[in-house]
Structure 1
Amino acid sequence: MTDTLDLVTAQARQAALVGGPDQVLTTEQVRSFVLESLAGADLDGRSVCLVVPDGTRSCPLPLLLATVHQALVGRVTRLTALVALGTHVAMSERALATHLGYAREGLDATYPGMTVLNHEWWTPETFVSLGTISADRVSELTGGLLSMPADVALNRAVVEHDVALVVGPVFPHEVVGFSGGNKYFFPGIAGPEIIDLTHWVGALITSSEIIGTRGITPVRALINEAATMIPGEKLALCVVAQSGTSSLHAASFGSTEAAWAAAAEVSAQTHVRYLDAPVRRVVSLIPTKYEDIWTAAKGFYKLEPVVADGGEVIIYAPHISEISVVHQEIYEIGYHCRDYFVKQWDRFKDVHWGVLAHSTHLRGAGTFDEVEGERCRVNVTLVTAIPEEKVRGANLGYLSPDEFDLAAYETDPDTFVVPNAGEVLFRLR
């Protein structure tokens, strides 16, 4: 890992950076940095596809997008903003308008000349194949965890523009280590094979092991390999958000690798907090930007590392009424530890591996064998509007929101209550 850290540090030095872990940037500092960075980029007379996050990622996106638009309008031949949904629910027009900052005046008035697209991952015509990562190369990049070829399919909007410019935040991430950079392509706007492959590699390593890991993790290595197949130029404006606010600690600009590396170094210092001793119970208060358990699961795996063996994570999200709107397979397989699937592979190998990976993310570490069955290290309880039979059927604990006494937990010395859960990673010293 030392070699990959050295590589990331070297890449970070190649990016322009403003701010740092102990700073909060003003709006004018952000605007000046974006305008200056893009003024120096070779974008005149070229078409640009902006790859931006969906509503589950927090940053002052309207400020960033308005400034990018100001810097590029009149210079570029075509400007498209593509929302990187991954396999999340599509954003409605109303949600897009608020998320991107054109709610009051409308898209044409706010961003003249710019097109906005949802990543329609459910439509085969969305994608174009860029090639294949060979089985031998997959094995090499993953340290032998998997050996199989993978088709690298990407939203054709990126391929049909001269330049792809990623605009979005960097946080600790359960699949790749730290999000951002080339991850906005894979899985953000990618086809199913590369999504399943990368997510299952992360699940094999386990979320608790890979989340918040600095350097080039095996999943980041796969993502970077896939990104080399993108024909156009790849740039990134990566930001480090002050969690729970609309402010930024830092912003970086450069290649997708360099800008990500610079932002990840800051995120590692601002989005990872340490406890001196494990806690018996966590109550994760889930913000409304997470609309189902598929996305709200971040409230589990960013707290799992600080929970004592046999402890509990309570996901408090009374606004959520579905485990997943899109991925109904999760109701069939439920939530289990990695070994539950690995040791019964013939039974589960045909389920989308991204779904299997998500299942392990919310269930955490554990063991399985045919005699003892499944034993998970931590208990998971939902306090949501999801019916009890669905929750228990998915192998999770249930508490009714009407009977849940948050104030009692807040005064309980054995309970750690975390507001705005899902962005900051907690670890033991």
Structure 2
Amino acid sequence: MENIIGGAGQVLTDAQVRTFVLDRLADEDLDGRRVCVIVPDATRSCPLPLLLGAVHEALEGRAAAVTVLIALGTHAPMSEAQLAKHLGGPYPGFEVRNHEWWDPDRLVSLGGITAERVAELSEGRMRQPIDVTLNRAVVEHDVCLVIGPVFPHEVVGFSGGNKYFFPGVAGQEIIDFSHWLGALISSAAIIGTRGITPVRALIDEAAAMIPARRLALCLVVQSGSGALHTAAFGAPEQAWAAAADVSAQTHVSYLDAPVRRVLSIIPDKYDDMWTGAKGFYKVEPIVADGGQVIIYAPHITRISEMHPEIEQLGYHCRDYFVKQWDRFAGQHWGVLAHSTHLRGAGTWDPEHGEQSRVTVTLATGIAEPVVRAANLDYLDPAAVDLPALAADPETLVVSQAGEVLFRLR
């Protein structure tokens, strides 16, 4: 039986998706099993009401228990109202939980990865042991079913698959570790890279330590609509690889030459700059040296609810931290990674200071003093002339920014 449906350029009907999910789960040994269903939060486009409805139909009366775990990473928890809108339902017999990454009692260690193995996986970029921790719910169930989309990603190359375990429902130490590894490679270098990147290799190594049986329903979502191009089912490694191949054909747009300016219009699903920064990551590769990215998001009023220290740390290029590591090694490495991802490529040395390749300008609801203190440029969103920028031949306007990657041919 086929473990993938759809493809690039296709749009699946709800009936096709529902039948595919029902058929795949009917073939799995789930009777009497405790099943943990891991799904993304609202920062990822995904038709979860359709998918969870089919999963509920498939597991009702079969599974001994089902827990739906929201893969927050280190994002803010979702409220009951947000969960109802995001997941649909109700789903009688299903328990829904946020991943409480901030609560050590909710986490369990699976063991460690040695420094020597880390050096091998990271291709020599890092050499220290790492404790592999994740949400207790994962090990308290017999089967883990990941349901989530695959997009080009600034840390790992393409998101999805085992990434829903690490960092999705992991402890902060391994989240910080994996994100800093990605930052050392740099967002511009790794985003949209197909195959097993060093960060993906680390994630897969950690996921192999999970005692539960792992399954994944990996999806390629039509950006901006929530419809599905592709659904792939199976072991996370294989389902992810199949979906990533389609995402590479679907979620990457190519330009023949760099542009001087990009205006990224950030959708409402990104409610702070921690998540809205995806509007920069996805366009950095096409901006000319000395160019500008304007992040247009009047609805965003804060840099980060869960990581307020970023306001004091500010946004800086990778070398700013690496070449002053004694100053910054004690910070959360995930925060350092986020800082480098939004600042973009650049250099730092003691004599000349920091030199950034492009200018990052926030046209948001964040106060000007906060923006400038964070080492970013400020623009009053009321002063943004959208029609004029759209008519400017040196400006690319990207609506619904954050999912489609732009690259040069």
TM-score range, shorter chain: over 0.9
- Map of 1:82 onto structure 2: 69
Q: State whether structure 2 residue 392 is matched by structure 1 residue 412.
A: yes
Q: State whether structure 2 residue 130 is matched by structure 1 residue 150.
A: yes
- Map of 1:426 onto structure 2: 406
Q: State whether structure 2 residue 389 is matched by structure 1 residue 375.
A: no
- Map of 2:14 onto structure 1: 27
Question: 1:376 offset after TM fit, Å?
Answer: 0.6
Contact 1:15 1:254 in 2 (8 A): no
- Partner Cα distance (1:310, 1:335) in 2: 17
Q: Pick from 211, 216, 225 the counterpart of residue 245 of structure 1.
A: 225
Q: Could you tell me which amino acid in structure 2 is paired with residue 119 of structure 1? A: H
- Partner Cα distance (2:263, 2:307) in 1: 25
Question: 1:56 offset after TM fit, Å?
Answer: 0.1
Cα RMSD over matched residues? Answer: 0.9
- Map of 2:197 onto structure 1: 217
- Partner Cα distance (2:96, 2:173) in 1: 26
**Cα deviations by residue, 1:137-175 (Å, 9 ceiling, x for unpaired):** 000000100000000001000110000000010000000
Question: 1:329 offset after TM fit, Å?
Answer: 1.3
- Map of 2:39 onto structure 1: 52
Query: What count of residue pairs does the alignment treat as equivalent?
Result: 409
- Map of 2:153 onto structure 1: 173
Say which SS state the counterpart of residue 359 (structure 1) adopts: helix
Q: Could you tell me which amino acid in structure 1 is paired with residue 60 of structure 2? A: V
Question: 1:411 offset after TM fit, Å?
Answer: 1.1
Contact 1:15 1:258 in 2 (8 A): no
Say which SS state the counterpart of residue 299 (structure 1) adopts: helix
Q: State whether structure 2 residue 312 is matched by structure 1 residue 314.
A: no
- Partner Cα distance (1:63, 1:299) in 2: 27
Q: State whether structure 2 residue 1 is matched by structure 1 residue 18.
A: no
Question: 1:15 offset after TM fit, Å?
Answer: 7.4
**Cα deviations by residue, 1:226-277 (Å, 9 ceiling, x for unpaired):** 0011001000011100000021000000001111111011001000110011
**Cα deviations by residue, 1:379-407 (Å, 9 ceiling, x for unpaired):** 00000110000000000000112222222
Q: State whether structure 2 residue 370 is matched by structure 1 residue 390.
A: yes
Q: Pick from 203, 226, 235 the counterpart of residue 206 of structure 2.
A: 226
- Partner Cα distance (2:150, 2:156) in 1: 11
Evaluate the alpha carbon distance shift between residue 15 and residue 358 of structure 1 in structure 2; reply closer, same or farther with a 3 A threshold: farther
- Partner Cα distance (2:144, 2:80) in 1: 23
Q: Could you tell me which amino acid in structure 1 is paired with residue 46 of structure 2? A: C
Say which SS state the counterpart of residue 300 (structure 1) adopts: helix
Contact 1:62 1:99 in 2 (8 A): yes
TM normalised by structure 2 equals 0.99
- Once structures 1 and 2 are overlaid, which stretch shifts more, 148-157 or 404-413? 404-413
Q: Could you tell me which amino acid in structure 1 is paired with residue 382 of structure 2? A: D
* 1:20-419 to 2 correspondences below 5 Å: 20-102=7-89, 110-419=90-399
Identity of matched residues, %: 69
- Partner Cα distance (2:185, 2:71) in 1: 25
- Partner Cα distance (1:393, 1:224) in 2: 38
Q: Could you tell me which amino acid in structure 2 is paired with residue 121 of structure 1? A: W
Moved over 6 A (4+): none
Q: Which runs of 5+ in 2 are unaligned?
A: none
Say which SS state the counterpart of residue 84 (structure 2) adopts: helix
- Partner Cα distance (1:33, 1:315) in 2: 39
Contact 1:297 1:362 in 2 (8 A): yes
- Partner Cα distance (1:345, 1:365) in 2: 18
